[in-house]
Amino acid sequence: MTVARDLMTPDPTCVKEDETLVDAARKMRDLDVGALPICGNDDRLKGMLTDRDIIVKCIADGGDPSSVTAGSLAEGKPVTVGADDDIREALEMMQQHQVRRLPVIDGHDLVGIISQADIARSLSAGATGETVAEISED
């Protein structure tokens, strides 16, 4: 059985909830990623922040990314999958919640992220295509 841990990209870099969006954008640039997990001062996952969130939820609304914090854009309980959960459950979660990146947790610890690219590298073309199509539905 393939589990989430088998496909995930391990050791994700977090943006802390009290860091500014400018700090987050610089981390995204330096890591060449479009999203980062938002972690609290207790190191627990608070949400996910995308480059699109910074543009749409801050800059487009006239916000100041040098004063708006990453934590202020964390909405609701983040969608996650357990590290030892079957990969089919991870794919279902991504499809159901239409998320392109799924944080992987072990207990309360963030241990990785499964992205569409991880799926494409590891699963069949059919499974990849179905997942991407479901995630991209309106």
- pLDDT tens digit string along 73-84? 988 889 999 999
Distance CA(103)–CA(118), nearest Å, equals 12
The identity of residue 18, as a single letter, is: D
Distance CA(49)–CA(28), nearest Å, equals 10
Query: How is 86-132 classified by DSSP, letter by letter?
Result: BHHHHHHHHHHHT-SEEEEEETTEEEEEEEHHHHHHHS-HHHHHHHH
The DSSP 8-state label assigned to residue 41 in this structure reads T
Q: Report the predicted TM-score, pTM, of the whole model to 2 decimal places.
A: 0.86
Distance CA(68)–CA(59), nearest Å, equals 10
What domains can you pick out in the chain, each with its CATH number? 4-136 (3.10.580.10)
Q: What is the mean pLDDT of the chain?
A: 90
The per-residue pLDDT for 106 is 95
Q: Are 51 and 35 in contact (CB under 8 A)?
A: yes
Below-50 pLDDT ranges, the chain: none
